[in-house]
């Protein structure tokens, strides 16, 4: 990777006058440093678990598996197809009533809806609270996810 960069740099140096080359280099450096800074600030603002729960929440809102983005096809959505973008335009037949049975993502095998240990209702397995009784579950951050 570094070798390619140096090669590209040398080629660019040949074709562009060094005055412009300097600006291009500075510009590229600024972009890289800026990106690192944003990454760093985000790390402070959202600790990993919170960030993860946020991702999960957004995925559940779109009826997509939080782990692999495979559509959560249950109830009236069983025969529909949607993506992250098209989910808001989706016309769901019936009342689109909420989840009533436990559900595992067929693509990656993650349990998405489970029985609550507090009230035996079906709850979001990857969100911290049960929607029915509010019982809190600890969300484990698996080390395989970065
Ligand atoms: Zn999945
Ligand atoms: Zn519950």
Tell me what pLDDT residue 94 has: 66
pLDDT tops 90 at residue 82: no
Q: What is the pLDDT of residue 98?
A: 54
Ligand nearest to the CA of 107: 1
The alpha carbon of 106 and the centre of ligand 2 are apart by a number of angstroms equal to 24
The confidence score (pLDDT) of residue 138 equals 75
Instruction: Please tell me the distance between residue 142's alpha carbon and the centre of ligand 2 in angstroms.
Output: 23
Which residue would you say has higher pLDDT here, 99 or 19?
19
Radius of gyration of the chain (CA): 23
Q: In this structure, which ligand is nearest to the CA of 73?
A: 1
Integer Cα distance of 67 and 110 in angstroms: 7
pLDDT of residue 145: 45
| pLDDT mean over 103-126 | 93
Selected residue with higher pLDDT from 13 and 132 = 132
pLDDT digits (tens, 9 = 90+) for 41-70: 877 776 788 888 999 999 999 999 999 999
Contact between 70 and 78 under an 8 Å Cβ cutoff? The reply is no
Between residues 75 and 54, which one has the greater pLDDT?
Answer: 54
Which pTM was predicted?
0.59
Report which of residues 124 and 94 the model is more confident about. 124
Q: What average pLDDT does the chain have?
A: 83
């Amino acid at each position: 990777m570094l070798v390619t960069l140096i090669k590209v740099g040398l080629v660019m140096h040949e074709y562009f006058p060094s005055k412009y080359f300097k600006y291009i280099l500075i510009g590229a450096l600024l972009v890289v440093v800026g990106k690192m800074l944003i990454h760093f600030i985000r790390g402070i603002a959202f600790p990993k678990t919170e960030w993860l729960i946020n991702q999960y929440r957004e995925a559940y809102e779109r009826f997509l598996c939080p782990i692999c983005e495979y559509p959560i096809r249950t109830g009236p959505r069983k025969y529909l197809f949607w993506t992250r973008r098209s989910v808001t335009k989706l016309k769901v037949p019936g009342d689109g009533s909420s989840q009533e049975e436990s559900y595992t993502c067929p693509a990656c095998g993650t349990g998405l809806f489970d029985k609550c240990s507090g009230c035996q209702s079906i709850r979001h397995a990857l969100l911290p609270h049960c929607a029915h009784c509010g019982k809190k579950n600890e969300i484990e951050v698996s080390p395989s996810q970065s």
